[in-house]
Amino acid sequence: MNIYCVGGAVRDRLLGLPVKDHDWVVVGSTPEAMAEQGFLPVGKDFPVFLHPETREEYALARTERKTARGYKGFSVYASPDVTLEQDLLRRDFTVNAIAEDREGNLIDPHGGIADLHAGILRHVSAAFNEDPVRILRGARFAARFGFSIAPQTLTLMRDMVSNGEVDALVPERVWQELARALMEKHPSRFFDTLRSCGALGSIMPEIDALFGVPQVAKYHPEIDCGLHTMLVVDDAALHDYALEVRFAALTHDLGKATTPADILPRHIGHELRSVERVKTLTERLRATGECRDLALLAARFHGDIHRAMELRADTVIRLFQSADAWRRPARFEQLLQACASDARGRWGSEQAPYPQAEYLLQLLTIARTVNAGEIARLCKDKGTIPAAVQLARINSIETTVKKQREASNA
């Protein structure tokens, strides 16, 4: 029995990156022999075991044969006679098909080390096109490492789109890869890669439809809504925002793709259309509730938040109520982060200030100091309590804004 470290651990170590997890391939063993040594079987589709002490995954060397559409349509063969080279041959990219033995020797039958140095994602074999998840993984690796896709590999990816293989992707796996890609350093490269092979229109048509739609002219007329969205999501990554914020940044403008042509230059009313398209996208991808809810808020209210300094006090209070800022101030801050990235979604604006956020958080703090319990105690008619509390909050904001304006004019 021979054991090799494979995949991401070897790749990341060669790139000088932190290694989080190790995957191991076992050559020349059987499930029975693994169990006798204390390994715990956990694989459903092929023999995978957990080490009795480290709990790391050890998989028997195996080969695969395509039997049906989709990423689960494979017949797996695991046997002591399967070699390491045969196991590496079934992997997706050459940079993931490098193995290391216990003495530190590298086994690289497909030129993965050279591709690492060149920054290229290249398929290992023609069997690449049998698994549509590899399109998503290739796009995610492009976002993580900034690597380019080899021309021949891009051709295979396009073939997978044209022959309908990509349509077999299940929502849960798409969401998993999307969520991981959004947390990379340059998420836009994930979407650029999917567009370059034609997969974005099949997987996330709401995002794909933004490209070619003019952006508001007063900013950068040369930037369409798709490119603007890419700048926004990269800004959210630059500022290390949470996944919920990055997803809201990605989806805040979806309605602009369906804005009628006669009002397209002004994008009037696109917020409500964005809300509907966010609902459609999140339901189809089965996004988490936290990502869905923040995305809906950003789609509906980013325009109002951008105009925060112009809003009347009663409008500000309604914004707080609609966003449930009283009970969930931390989520409201995330909403402001998504809006800040939207405002900075232009070339050269990465460090531009977004005073609307500080302004609204100040007003929220002031409005939350209103003693609702005391107001309720003083109201003889209990039915008037909500209106009385709201009026007190409005007055507190109006007083603060008036004082600030007087101070600035002094």
Provide the pLDDT confidence category of residue 93 given band limits of 50, 70 and 90: very high
Out of 3.10.350.10, 1.10.110.30, 3.40.50.150, 3.30.420.40, the CATH code matching 132-194 is 1.10.110.30
Which span out of 74-88, 328-342, 358-372 was modeled with the highest average pLDDT?
Answer: 328-342
* Least confident segment among 41-45, 115-119, 129-133, 217-221: 217-221
Q: Which residues pair with 2 in a beta bridge?
A: 27
Helices 243-251 and 171-182 cross at an angle (nearest 10°) of 100
Is pLDDT above 90 for 45? Answer: no
Is the pLDDT confidence value at 68 over 80?
no
Contact 273, 255 (CB under 8 A): yes
Q: What is the pLDDT of residue 307?
A: 93
Is the predicted pLDDT of residue 147 greater than 60, yes or no? yes
Among the ranges given (43-47, 207-211, 214-218, 245-249), the one the predictor scored with the smallest mean pLDDT? 214-218
Q: Is the pLDDT of residue 282 over 90?
A: yes
- DSSP string across 312-361: -HHHHHHHHHHTTTTT-HHHHHHHHHHHHHHHT-STT-TT---HHHHHHH
Question: CA-CA-CA-CA torsion for 371, 376, 380, 384, nearest 10 degrees?
Answer: 100
pLDDT of residue 71: 52
The mean pLDDT of the chain is 90
Task: Kindly tell me the number of DSSP H helices and DSSP E strands found in the chain.
Answer: 19, 11
Tell me which H or E stretch contains 396: helix 385-409
Question: Domain 204-363 in CATH: superfamily?
Answer: Hypothetical protein af1432 (1.10.3210.10)
Mean pLDDT, rounded, for 187-201: 97
Q: Could you tell me the CA-to-CA distances from 394 to 303, 320, 333, 374 in Å, in that order? A: 21, 11, 20, 16
pLDDT digits (tens, 9 = 90+) for 327-362: 999 999 999 999 999 999 887 777 789 999 999 999
Query: Where does the chain hold its CATH 3.30.460.10 domain(s)?
Result: 1-125
Q: Where in the chain is the domain with CATH 1.10.3210.10?
A: 204-363
Architecture of domain 1-125: 2-Layer Sandwich (3.30)
Give the dihedral of Cα atoms 110, 116, 117, 123; nearest 10 deg: 50
CB 328 within 8 A of CB 369: no
Two tokens, residue 356: 């609307």
- Report the pLDDT value the prediction gives residue 351, as an integer from 0 to 100: 78
Q: Which amino acid belongs to residue 284?
A: R
Distance CA 389, CA 384 (A): 9
Looking at the chain, the whole-number percentage of residues with pLDDT higher than 70 is: 92
- How confident is the model at residue 107, as a pLDDT? 97
